[in-house]
Amino acid sequence: MNLRDPDQIIAFLLSFVIATTIHELMHAWTALKMGDPTARDLGRITLNPMSHFEPFGFFGMVMISIGIPFIGWGKPVPVNPSRFTHSFARHRKRGMALVAFAGPLSNVAQALLMAIPYQLWARGTIELNQGAVLFMTSFITVNVLLASFNMIPIPPLDGHKILMGILPDFWRPILAPLEQYGFVVLLLLFFVGGQLGGSLVNGIMLPVREVIYNAVNLGL
pTM score, whole prediction = 0.90
Contacts of 172 (CB under 8 A, 6+ apart): 164
**pLDDT tops 90 at residue 193:** no
Is 24 among the catalytic positions?
yes
Mean pLDDT of the residues in the chain: 87
**pLDDT tops 70 at residue 150:** yes
Q: What is the pLDDT of residues 49-73, one digit of tens each?
A: 999 999 999 999 999 999 998 889 9
Higher-confidence residue of 220 and 34: namely: 34
The string over 80-98, giving b where at least 16 C-beta atoms fall within 10 Å of a residue's C-beta and e elsewhere, is: ebebbeeeebeeebbbbbb
182 pLDDT tier (thresholds 50, 70, 90): confident
Higher-confidence residue of 173 and 79: namely: 79
Distance CA 15, CA 8 (A): 10
Domain segments of the chain as ranges: 6-218
Q: What is the pLDDT of residues 82-105, one digit of tens each?
A: 999 988 877 788 899 999 999 999
Nearest by Cα to 30 from 170, 158, 211 = 158
**pLDDT tops 70 at residue 195:** no
**pLDDT tops 80 at residue 25:** yes
